[in-house]
Amino acid sequence: MPNIQYANMSHWKSIPYKQIDNFRDFYYEDKTNSAYYSDWDNILKYQSALGFNGIEIAPWDMADILPLFGSPENFTAFAKERGVEVIGMFHGAHASHDASHFDEAVQSGREAVDTIVRFGGTYMNTCPTQNYFGCGPLSREEVQSCAKVMNEIGRYATDKGVKIGLHNEFFCAINLENHRELIESTDPALVHYCIDTAQISIMGEDLLTFYNDYHDRISTFHLKDTASSAQPDSLRHSQDPEITDDGTRWFWEPGMGTLDLKGLYRALKEHGFKGWMSIEYDGSPDLLASMAMTRYYLDNELRPIYD
């Protein structure tokens, strides 16, 4: 068993079919590549063929998966038949900075944990509250409200065998000025951390320094590259900076940006990290090409350092 197992964070968006029974007839309906990306059967096979044996479900997948498969358990069985297991799901703890939303935020988190358990997953990567624009800067009391919600969800998740990992976006209200304050205000026995290598670097954290400082809190990773580290407050605090109309990409396949990912792998080896690492391709114009490029870089550049 390798020290690191690799998963994909699902960014395929809408997938209208469970399985296309007659691929040839389906292809001849429009003669484009849409047939290759329209069913879970093939998408899970792509993952398995490229050595990504786990999948992290996105919240937006629920609206498609449940009608197609009938239940989380059925999807999990379908994926396992193709060599892929569900490792967890992303969750957004909306408005957790607002003490008046405590019960609502905790209940939403508990329901997400219950869903992950039904999929057989053991990770829930959690954005601690919404975007900076519209609710930042947070007061000291609001940061503590976030921590209180995270601790409560973390207690419930731990009892269910699920690790919750804080997951910060570079444009969140929990941002560079209060990022470490939130982490250190949560209970390390209940609340862990998912390092999104690009998101925290764009926010202004030094990737290697952050990992070395918090290596004992790290539950998993979202691995992706960026060439846009340490963006200014004016951008991180602006409205919807991740979504652009001009084709700007914040995130790149590992090795295509400027992050010291080889240094990260040396640090993983030093601290003996073992567990799952999800690869994220948000922003990619071709998810299958990104998956193959990532597999090549992992096998030839990163895994020889530590795996």
**How is 243-291 classified by DSSP, letter by letter?**
--SS---S-B-TTSSS--HHHHHHHHHHHT--EEEEE--TT-S-HHHHH
Q: Counting Cβ atoms within 10 Å, is residue 242 exposed (0-12), middle (13-18) or buried (19+)?
A: middle
Cα 12 to Cα 27, 201, 285, 287, distances in angstroms: 19, 24, 11, 7
Q: What is the mean pLDDT of each run of 10 residues along the chain (307 residues)?
A: 93 91 94 94 97 93 94 98 97 96 98 98 97 96 98 98 97 97 98 98 98 98 98 96 86 98 98 97 92 97 95
Cβ–Cβ under 8 Å, residues 124 and 111 = no
Q: What predicted TM-score, i.e. pTM, was given to this entire model?
A: 0.96
The SS3 of residue 127 is strand
List, as one string, the DSSP characters of 220-248: EEEE-B-S--S--HHHHTSSSTT--SS--
Q: Return the amino acid letter for 117.
A: V
Q: Return the amino acid letter for 48.
A: S
Report the distance separating Cα 33 and Cα 109, nearest Å: 38
Q: Compute how many other C-beta atoms are within 10 angstroms of the C-beta atom of residue 10.
A: 24
Q: Using alpha carbons, select from 63, 102, 90, 76 the residue that is nearest to residue 9.
A: 90
Report the distance separating Cα 171 and Cα 233, nearest Å: 9
65 dihedral zone (left: phi>0; alpha: psi -120 to 50; beta): alpha
Report the distance separating Cα 299 and Cα 307, nearest Å: 10
Tokens, residue 142: 């609001």
Q: Return the amino acid letter for 58.
A: A
